[in-house]
A = this chain, B = another copy of it.
Amino acid sequence: MTRPTFHDFKKKALRDPGVRAEYESLSAAYHLRKKLIGLRKKAGLTQEELAKRLNTQKSNISRLENVNSKISPKLSTIEEYAKAVGFKLELDFVPQKTIKPHHNRINSD
């Protein structure tokens, strides 16, 4: 028998309703940060260069982008970041599906 992989661990963890709830609630901020990094790199900017555009420091950019960050940024912060890398932020409100999720459904990340 082999050692459990991280994938196995995640699969199992996501079956726990509590863990799953936290995972989903985190996902918005999580995906946001990944998105921001992608936009910055596509714009060919380092954190330091972007920081300069925003009149701030690279450490602050890092904090904002960092997945481990516990902060929930202000709307204006995200907007300014977006603008600095050449994008405009738009907010969409999509109706929540109230469908009970299939009990063995796993997010494919």
Bound complex: CA A60 to CA B33 (Å): 28
Is the Cβ of B88 less than 8 Å from the Cβ of A90? Answer: no
Tally A residues with Cβ within 8 Å of B.
27
Whether A17 sits at the interface, judged by CB under 8 Å, is: no
Interface of A is mostly: mixed
Whether A37 sits at the interface, judged by CB under 8 Å, is: no
A59 vs chain B, min Cβ distance (A): 20
Q: How many copies make up the complex?
A: 2
Is the Cβ of B93 less than 8 Å from the Cβ of A82? Answer: yes
Bound complex: CA A70 to CA B12 (Å): 45
Q: Which residues of A contact B (CB under 8 A)?
A: 28-29, 32, 35, 39, 72-79, 82-83, 86-96, 98
Given A28-B89, A29-B76, A87-B95, list of 16 further CB < 8 A pairs? Answer: A28-B91, A35-B91, A35-B93, A39-B93, A72-B77, A73-B75, A74-B75, A83-B96, A87-B96, A88-B94, A88-B96, A89-B92, A90-B92, A90-B93, A90-B94, A91-B91
